[in-house]
Structure 1
Amino acid sequence: MTNTHDDFETGLERKSARDTLTQLLGPEVIASLHRRSDAWGWFGIAGCWATIALALFMSELAIDAFTWWSLPLLIVSITLIGGRILGLAILSHEGSHRSLFETQKFNDSVCNWLCAAPIFLDIAKYRRHHALHHVHTGTELDVDLPLCDGFPTSPASMMRKFLRDISGITGIKSLIGLGMMNAGILKWNVAGTVEKLPSNGQSRADYLWTFVKESRRTLIFHSIFFLTMYFSNLTELFFIWWAGYLFAYPLCIRVRSIAEHAMTERSGNMLKNTRTTKAGIIGRALFAPFNVNFHIEHHALVSVPYWQLPKLHRLLREKQAIPTPPTYWQVIRLAASNK
């Protein structure tokens, strides 16, 4: 646990890094980078859902054909859905920073219903949790530390983590945890930390009512989704979505989390406690939707919209303020390099 002096030092490091950015880029450039766009917000959401629809269509082709290429196509489709579910999580993350749409109320409403609700998130809850991550990044008080701590590990340990992800063990545990958090049994977080809340004499009926109230958007969304698929004679696609959520999405989250903060410097300097990663086509599809791989840039200027991050990256690279980013494969090899 850090003490007051440590917090003060961390604050000085963070302020120094931001002052350096202001000197490098200038206040006018920084102001222009913070410009929001409703068009880009809708483009992100529409593109994400269009890709999910395409993957579901591919799944239906595979199921109907029932031939030698059905299983490989189904695996590709489920994996792609997992990557786009991460895309919805990243858009929810954008919404938590109020950077997806120009108007805050509109930003929160759209993000809640079209991005967060389908994947069991809530913008207000996530915003409170995520703010603590940004305040304490690189310190023992970072609420997301469990996502990236313990690396490098051994190749065998990394393989076990990946096997838990693709077997559905991680996804099922996460889903149960989210349900218990929404019921008020556990403290809400997205880092997998289990912290039981005091019961205060609540009955099972009280917990059930709290769950329904806190999960209402998710329950409404998936009820409509299921009924739409059922009456369209496409019920199997509802379960294909959940296969993507349970078997592919956890792996995408793990790789993304390792790349962003694992094995970085423990300091308050966001230029050193965070990593930007180079993403190719597969990386962008699965681990880095909506430019989340430009993570130093995001931590340096947290309210810059996703579509502005590549420009910020180019500017910082021109000023030699950040290093050449590694690829996801290079980061994973490093994370599994402890013999």
Structure 2
Amino acid sequence: MTSLPSVIAMNVEPQPILTPEQDAYLRERSDWMGAYLVLHAWGMIALAMAFFVAWPNPLSFIVAVVVIGGRQLGLAILMHDAAHRALFKNTRLNDTLGAFLCGWPVGASLTLYRPYHLSHHRHTQQAEDPDLILSAPFPITRQSFWRKMRRDILGITGYQRRMEFFRTEMGTDPSPWQRLKKLMAAEKYFFLSNLAIFSVTAAAGVWWAYFVLWLLPLLTWYQVISRVRNIAEHAVVGDNHDRLRNTRTTLAHWGMRMVLAPYWVNYHLEHHLFVFTPCWKLPAAHRMLMAQGLGPRMELATGYLQVLRLATSKTHDHGDTGGVQPKRKGAALI
């Protein structure tokens, strides 16, 4: 990969320009860092499970669900990095571990997600953008937003999405056996990875933890923060035709990143400008842009509450459907 300066040009105003050294730094990937991030995500999940098992009470349960749901989103984010071949320097490691340790456990297919997501990057906020359905309906009313949040936290959204995937994959063959075969072919790695998680919890003597501390966060908190993150990235942005304004970076303190925006996913504008940059280098990319004096031209938010206020500024509810999820496995992950 050449280390020529990366110039992002979509209009005549000044655009980010990297030195060859900056460009080379942002493009450089690390197998060690990729392995650390994957182990970190699973380690946090294991620790949160152990925390609740050791001290079972309502508060520790809430903490466990929030931490585990956040790291489940973290796994999806790491799979997203793998889709850009930025998680590991080694291509085989990148695609294998990105699929089997990051994507499939949370029900996302790296193989299906990669072309879908790269199309989103080619056509960001344009008519051809497959993710436009996520941002186009905004702003919505607060009442509409809270209805969606209620469905998310109750697990209704997660259940409906998963059942829709299953129905689509089974098709309309009149034979139940053939429909089951199609479902197993499409979901075998999801089922196998979840069977492995169940086996680990059963071997530890807490088989119930798979259902309470894995499936429940996946169907609830994971859905909540996925929706908030989707809104923050492209909804109610300043200019759909300016690459510095059609994607948002949301500045967040460490606590918010812990529960809502793991693995630097809040630096979404930087990711769109420098798509091959590993997630852990996005803060450096942000500093480079700010050093060039581009801050006033960038779509920046000082926090997720600011974004949600913008996204829920509509005054009348006419049955808007902001944030409808695409019927594609892995779509709308990031």
TM range (shorter): 0.7 to 0.9
Find the aligned partners of 1:28 and 1:16 in 2 and give their Cα distance.
23
Residue 226 of structure 1 is matched in structure 2 by: 198
Paired position in structure 2 for 1:193: none
Looking at structure 1, the residues matched to 276 and 26 of structure 2 have their Cα atoms a distance apart, in angstroms, of: 9
- Separation in 2, partners of 1:225, 1:30: 40
Task: Check whether the contact 1:83–1:248 (CA below 8 A) recurs between aligned residues.
Answer: yes
1:304 Cα shift?
A: 0.6
- Distance in 2 of aligned mates of 1:121 and 1:93: 10
8 Å CA contact 2:38–2:101 kept in 1: the answer is: yes
The answer to whether the Cα contact below 8 Å between 1:14 and 1:269 also exists between their aligned partners in 2 is: no
- Aligned counterparts of 1:236 and 1:19: Cα–Cα separation in 2: 57
Asked whether 1:258 is paired with 2:231, we answer: yes
> Matched residues in 2 for 1:17 and 1:39: separation?
38
Structure 1 residue corresponding to 2:136, chosen from 134, 149, 174: 149
Superposed structure 1 runs of 4+ greater than 6 Å apart: none
After superposition, what is the alpha-carbon deviation per residue over 1:142-193, rounded to whole angstroms, capped at 9, x for unaligned? 111222232222111111111111011111112112323444x3xxxxxxxx
Alignment equivalent of 1:331, drawn from 299, 307, 310: 307
Equivalent residue runs for 1:73-112 within 5 Å: 73-112=60-99
Of the candidates 263, 267, 274, which is equivalent to residue 294 of structure 1? Answer: 267
Partners of 1:300 and 1:17 lie apart in 2 by 14
TM-score (norm 2): 0.85
Amino acid in structure 2 at the alignment position of 1:229:
T
CA spacing shift, 1:146–1:45, aligned 2, 3 Å: same
Change (3 A) 1:229 1:263: same
Tell me whether 1:72 sits opposite 2:59 in the alignment: yes
Task: Tell me if the contact between 2:249 and 2:267 (Cα under 8 Å) persists in the aligned partners.
Answer: yes
In the TM superposition, residue 20 of structure 1 has moved relative to its aligned partner by 5.2
Partner of 1:159: 146
Q: Alpha-carbon deviation of 1:18? A: 11
Equivalent position SS for 1:98: coil
| Alpha-carbon contact 2:38-2:102 (below 8 Å) kept | yes
For the structure 1 residues 334 and 206, does the alpha-carbon distance in structure 2 shift closer, same or farther, using more than 3 Å as the test?
same
Task: Give, in whole Å, the separation in 1 of the partners of 2:301 and 2:153.
Answer: 27
Separation (CA, whole Å) in 2 of partners of 1:17 and 1:114 = 40
Q: Using the TM superposition, name which of 233-242 and 93-102 deviates more.
A: 233-242
Please tell me the residue identity of whatever aligns with 1:59: F
Output the amino acid matched with 2:165.
L
Structure 1's unaligned 5+ residue stretches are 1-12, 64-69, 186-198
Residues 138 and 265, structure 1, Cα contact 8 Å, conserved in 2: no
Q: In structure 1, which of residues 272, 276, 293 is the aligned counterpart of residue 249 of structure 2?
A: 276
Tell me what 2:46 maps to. Answer: 53
User: Could you tell me whether the CA contact under 8 Å between 2:10 and 2:241 is conserved in 1?
Assistant: no
Identity value in percent: 34
Q: Quote the residue 2:104 is aligned against.
A: 117
Aligned equivalents of 2:67 and 2:264: distance in 1?
17
Provide the residue aligned with 1:35 in structure 2: 28
Structure having the higher helix fraction is: 1
